[in-house]
Structure 1
């Protein structure tokens, strides 16, 4: 205790000696949601200003932090928030450091008053008919108290109750919609709309796939059908063997998920059929359709029996019994006859039938013969050796004494043992020097190599790296543990691409069955050595681990490259190899490559549909991509586009938006207007980026906004300018992409609506009736109660008419007014549109939102090819 006091006393004396002290600390403030705040600190004793603002123990990064000189070595700094939201509430203070000594100002608390904030929103419910159930809803202020009012089927249910609120609902017989309202002195918030579903039987599984077939087992995978609003408990797999007539096999009952199972005990080179049904707590679904497959051939399991010979001076005839079909395990290719004379193996002979005739019988005297059956995979075991002797010799020897017979047999056994030892020594010598020999050749030659000894001329081998050596969080380590792949299983090839944080290389991954898979490996830069950079790279892999969609790139695994004399290994993210690379380069090559090629409108719209489906899936996974562009979409060998590169992605755990809280490099030409202004990212801002990506596809890889500098993008957009219609782009496609660029986020279409519109456009390419004008839908309304908005009207890019194209049902008056001016964008993009300001809120309380100007974007712009990024 005395030692601690002494250290604190020394620190205080040192600060007094160096003169470093805070002369002003931030003060406690209570502010209404949507208003601005300003906190101030002043520090004395620093020759240069270096003050860090802290919030709840975390550093705050700001691009517009300013310092005011009070006097020599005396500085004042401020932290401002233009539009305060609930997440801005907390504890704030300043920190300064001089000569290794850090001091802190007195802390201050910011309390945010506004309409209630939901901490528990109603969730979808599944129940049996007539069974009572409860619904829960909770919201908090300040100000308190908060009351909750329930709405069922669009009708008010009961009277307001204090938050948190639990509503008991008697049994129902059909699906209903419900939501809750939370009210305090500042106004009313409306929760999400939930649905009560009635549990029913599941539907039959679909997309049954035979993932892998081996000699005696098969790996099956399937996609469950509609689950009937109840989790599936198990699935039943029925199999039958087709050998002239269908033979039913024992059923396999497996727990799910995962929807994959390995079935063993099969016979090779046999025909099978499989079908599956699944069960929930209501009952069992119908069976799926039968799916047929065949197990591959194998090496025969038995040697030919009853090998006999007939020797004459002219020829040697051999005969043996043919193998049974159950022993053959495939189609017979040939019988292999091996013979040995004088302790040396002679050249093997192949015969189609179970007999052989060899001319010149005398040369086979005292030779031993063996026979083996061969399929396309290889040859089976050898038969017992048979010694060839003339019949006359056998008769005369039979009359001699048993001593000579025993002597001859002893010599024969000794010769065979000598031959066997010679073969083994020769085989061991080869293995020691080169590895094991090759297996018998077949339809597909397989090479097996086992090194008897390995050498490293550069020193001892580095130990295998594990996730425990990285210093990452326990949660991230647990997520990646089951996808960690040893480095020795990878062979890196040439580089496919290079970016700010690392490179992508071609590689070959050795699988468990010794096969080799071509993959792409994302390698972090070797000069990045901090755990935080490594953790950021591995977070992208953690996102991808849970992705299972044909239009979203899937994670194969994570590996760690150990470096000599380095504390931390380099993480490597292993991804599927995409034959055609990124979509942007592919589009450029179609126009500017050495051999240009034509991409039909069908193909271009299919690219857009693939991206939209992938983004809709990510939205359902609560993932905001934040960097959607053609360069971050990959094209596989089947010409299917997969959304990739999740380096800037964020998972939303609550609410429906993410606020960027630090300085990041972002591609401004793809960023939505509200994201440029307030660093707020939502699924609607991803829709904006999707519209730009559509423009890239139709323009065959051209750079968006040609001739417009990156620092001028914000002013360009705020004036109402948008990307011009590309040549050869149909008007209906341009209308779809133009609707993505509404300055009001809720007036942009959802990804599901974009999928529907693009599918309609794709189908409309074939001759058919004229299409109806595109209507805009109120995105905030219930999914089943869509309100059609006004028609798109003129979308002439030369004459932007903001008051027409981007209006939608449910817009507030101030939002429509905002469309007619060139500033004040905060009115359209701040807060959550479910909020309704109550009559008790005055204009003075709410404050005037600050105007947005191009000063929010730093003038220091770094040019980087097509995907130029700036600090936001």
Structure 2
């Protein structure tokens, strides 16, 4: 463990803790001296990726991180510490142990056993406390085996001749734990393979694949492949033995345009399985492998007759279409001729005198090689030509030998030396001189790195087509400081140069540099593709996509360019209104306005057949005029047919926002988004409280199936609660549509709107200069829109508690990462205080200042937000 370098200091280390099973435990770690540290928690040497981890700034270059477990189990026991990277070096905090007391915890459970009949074998079971000691009792086939014995326990079985179930019990003073149930299997022959198919054919190479069925409770070691030609009904190739897995093999050396049959059997330690059924396939055609042979001619007075030998089927390698005859006369190629048979009759014999002929066979793929040329001459002239050709060849041989001899003589008189840049020769003579010939030249100004394109990402063609017209050259983007950071990437402030040379502030989602697979990149860009076609004031819009080229890397990093949301996400805004250092009031009109903005955005998405699947206050952003935009489409799906989407794989999902039918059957519809909107309304009315307080994630389904729902928030009007409660009907079709919700909320907004002359005070903090002045400013009343308008005009005099004025305005920010299953954003929470950092802590970690209690509560609620995400819904 390396000590931190000078200037870098761990100001807080995790401490040893002993807790009972089911209780809560939290570890803390703080580091000072780094601008943007990458702090990672480890347990027993393995990195932890938890949605419960959060980061808080304690001051300039001073960061604190927590790792908490709400319900500790035995598997959470172990050694914990945190690490931080600095200049390619890793530094660690002190290490602390978490000790969990409870019922025994299995460290080795009995595993399934595969054996031959009546062969002895052993079963092992081990469990630990605390508290100790732990006793183990075995059960085999429903019958207790022997007396309890101390852990670890080994049960010796003399052998069985049929399958049987078994498990073990572990007992200490806290209670009894039951292990998994294992099975003793008897090894048998495997079943015949299934789904034998030809995956692809390239030339004469055929790729086969198959799937094993029952392995007979014994690992398959190899598979046997038999191949035969149907024309001969013989094994055309010797059988091949292939090591498995993978269950795939390439057959080479097959003949083109031939019918084959193939079958497969697989072998385990008991023996070989039966063969699969024969699979018939035909190899593709090819061009003929050889030219036609024995091309001869017969020159008569009236016509020229050509003949050649037919090609055999194995030489044709396909179905013969025609023989192609090409000829030249006086060195000029003539129009080629096609013939179905292996002979040709050409009229006008005189015009073919001194003509040269060649022939080739053609299939549907193409024509094969040409036969040697044959010159058409009368028989007497032909003999004389052959003799003259012999004398010409002899003279050419003598000439070549003479030239080679002269060259060797010249080279022997000169001594040469090759260098990496050219050749240096030293000619004879009394004076030494050097002649240098450059081998290549060099350009000292290296070429600039080429601009990246979507073609180099390895993504689907459909996704490339969608993003091509929004691709922004990297040179137009200047990245600023970080707004948020997660496991897979970060969100950064940036400046975008437009075509008219103006510069606009934007937010850029950048994939982490060590995420290099095309799959992760495609997942990131799919969210951008969804946003590309969105044009609504209450739905965040895509500005563009850019690609950051990295030297020495195959794939560039995608960057998704989005509008800069100055006031962060709605959930954090609601929390700060209630728990911030300077709480401020939010009127019912303002809260209803928030809900109305969200409902309008979701009505637009549902009209475009988009299911959001992660609607929550944390995924709604506040723009410049404090209107709400629905954002974060990492879990969204477009419905192409029908009215529902079924989640096909296990993923991380926000349990407390998911509809009852989605928890039960993984089915997502627009009605399940309505359920999540009702929970979001509850978040707004409670100013950011965590839904279902006191109910664990694992208990949510049982809680809802009994008819329980979120309780009415304090100071919530009955008509508001009735509207959100209607979103939680157990029958999806009985829930209101987003169109109905918009109309209801518009009417509700009008009913709670004050008269145009009244202004409702809003408390805010003026952070100009050194002094903090508490002021009151009015919120202008907004009129209800006409039918053609999409959103209510925002209040004219919004003032935000953490917002600076003037030149320092852009240095203060608050950004919370996006929801689960995103390539960017994700599980970590990076939080900046109202003035760029939280107040300093004392030596023992207690916060100094009047706002300490509120600030602690805010941090706890920020952590609770991600506690509502579990796996395997």
After TM superposition, the score normalised by the length of structure 2 is 0.50
User: RCO greater where, 1 or 2, for CA within 8 Å and sep 6 or more?
Assistant: 2
After TM superposition, the score normalised by the length of structure 1 is 0.50
Is the radius of gyration larger for structure 1 or structure 2? Answer: 2
